[in-house]
Structure 1
Amino acid sequence: MASMELARDLEQVLGRLLLRRNRSALYDAVLDAAPTGVDRQTYPVLSGLGRLGPQTAARLADEVGIDRSGASRYADRLQRASLIERRPDPDDGRATLLVLTPQGEDTVADLRIALTRHLAGRISEWPDWQAQALVDGIRLLIEEAG
């Protein structure tokens, strides 16, 4: 059973990981391989659609932690880049879904490969057991939170 001291350390480390500058450092590693139209602002929208599937701008904004107007603006940019399209929501005639285009799906796949390579470089010197413990721990935190 984890001690309070370990829980405090975890709280500190997660807080630092979630800081914008640390998220941005991860984004920057990925965005080097990104096509025009994908940047720090639009990447969370594109990545979120890749993980969640078609979403309204409001639902996507809630899921990725940005405001609704930002999600709509960033979706406009991704639409101009032919990475997403808007479709009527079959469950709500008043709503519109943001959907990846085939080009958007390919871009998400390429960006995931770039992120995987970046992370592989970051953990390349770690013992396998330590990297696996990190993966397992994050997985447990997510499963217990949801």
Structure 2
Amino acid sequence: MRKLTLMTLIALMAGVALVALAEGLPENITIKECADKKTPVEFPHKAHVDLKIDCVTCHHTSEGLTAANFAEMKVATCGSCHIAPEKAETPKCSESSKKTNPYHISCIGCHADAVAKNAESTAPTKCTACHPKAEG
């Protein structure tokens, strides 16, 4: 009986901790790096956190990054590292082919793996799923 009570208490505390940790994380992130060629991409950050995808999967230079320490750590944007030193801005999409674009490599690769492992996965793999046609 005491063991069951202790296990229940631990489970409740873990649940409360997870909710508290998620408070500092953004719900969605708008990716505008390719806005010169495509509509900005609305990235569902919280959905990826809820799937328990390790932070380092995307924030590969942020070793030790967790939902718990997200608010305290400086999380770099892609452009803060992946930028040509002689340029003052992130390269335009026209300078990066579909095959070398980091978002395409990371996102489509991961989504294709998810769909291959689970046919019922809703991970988008088509261009217009992330790049809707511009209105107007």
**Fold in common (TM above 0.5):** no
Mark the structure with the bigger radius of gyration: 2
Select the structure that is richer in helix: 1
TM value normalised by structure 1: 0.29
Select the structure that is richer in strand: 1
